Amino acid sequence: MTDPDPADVAIVGLSELSATVIRARLLDAHDRFWDTDTRTLHDPVWFNQFGGFGAVATTPGGEDVGYVLGVVTADRLAYLHLLTVREDRRRAGLGSRLCRWFDELAASTGARVVQAVARPDDGPALAFSSRLGASTHLSVDHAGPGADRVVLTRSLPAVG
Ligand SMILES: CC(C)(COP(=O)(O)OP(=O)(O)OC[C@H]1O[C@@H](n2cnc3c(N)ncnc32)[C@H](O)[C@@H]1OP(=O)(O)O)[C@@H](O)C(=O)NCCC(=O)NCCS
């Protein structure tokens, strides 16, 4: 059963979960989260080695309704690899909450900038990111010949 109240959704760090179990669960529900096939972007490394920077949004009934995967590099760049909200839960602030969770964790480890990458024709992702204050840069051939991408960059507040 679906819980209709977004305030009841909990953000749970992946480090509290079994990497193998949560990855399989999210991939099983893939088509409810994504319009295109993103399975290859869900490499186990994002759940095992980098899982400390990821989180899943879960209803009291145990349904996964959004997730974020990312990592902070040694030069203090926070890279937001994947962010998604289940199709029936969008436009209720959950994407923003997941982003905030990642930003706060990244900033607490010393990151000063967060970057994500989107396809140039991904209107919702670009609108969402610009609402959060991201600047955009078209990166030609970013993902290979003919595969341009938009690099989205936001500043993070200094912590402490
Ligand atoms: C992008 C995505 C994560 C946004 O999640 P969400 O929970 O719907 O986002 P929020 O409710 O926090 O939206 C915050 C603001 O972003 C903007 N926004 C979000 N989705 C939008 C859309 N489809 N079209 C235009 N603006 C949008 C709006 O300004 C929105 O505020 P409003 O609802 O008060 O107008 C979601 O659409 C999604 O999962 N898309 C598929 C995966 C994807 O593209 N991921 C890449 C993310 S960079």
Instruction: Output the ligand 1 site: residues, CB below 6 A.
Output: 83-85, 90-96, 116, 118, 122, 124-125, 127-129, 131
Question: Within 10 Å of residue 157's Cβ, how many Cβ atoms?
Answer: 8
- In tens, the pLDDT along 119-158 reads 999 999 999 999 999 999 999 999 999 999 999 999 998 8
Nearest CA owner, ligand 1 atom 9: 95
Structural domain including 28 reads 6-112
Which CATH number does the domain housing residue 22 bear? 3.40.630.30
- In tens, the pLDDT along 92-120 reads 999 999 999 999 999 999 999 999 999 99
Q: Specify if 107 maps to a domain.
A: yes
> In one letter, which amino acid is 60?
P
pLDDT of res. 1: 44
Q: Specify if 142 maps to a domain.
A: no
Q: What ligand 1 atom has the least distance to the C-alpha of 97?
A: 12
91 C-alpha to ligand 1 centroid (Å): 6
pLDDT of res. 5: 62
Residues recorded for the chain: 160
Q: Specify if 130 maps to a domain.
A: no
Looking at the structure of the chain, the number of domains it has is 1
In degrees to the nearest 10, what's the CA dihedral of 21, 125, 65, 24? -20
Query: What is the residue-averaged pLDDT of the chain?
Result: 95
Q: Specify if 45 maps to a domain.
A: yes
Residue 72 has pLDDT above 90, yes or no: yes
pLDDT of res. 155: 96
- The model's pTM: 0.95
Residue appearing with tokens 């999210």: 26
Lowest mean pLDDT among 7-11, 15-19, 114-118: 7-11
Q: Specify if 68 maps to a domain.
A: yes
pLDDT of res. 3: 44
Q: Specify if 19 maps to a domain.
A: yes
What is the three-state SS of the chain?
CCCCCHHHCEEEEHHHCCHHHHHHHHHHCHHHHCCCCCHHHCCHHHCCCCHHHCEEEECCCCCEEEEEEEEECCCCEEEEEEEEECHHHCCCCHHHHHHHHHHHHHHHCCCCEEEEEECCCCHHHHHHHHHCCCEEEEECCCCCCCCCEEEEEEECCCCC
Q: What ligand 1 atom has the least distance to the C-alpha of 90?
A: 8
Q: Specify if 71 maps to a domain.
A: yes
Q: Specify if 88 maps to a domain.
A: yes
Q: What ligand 1 atom has the least distance to the C-alpha of 86?
A: 39
Kindly state the average pLDDT of the residues 40-50. Answer: 98
pLDDT of res. 159: 81
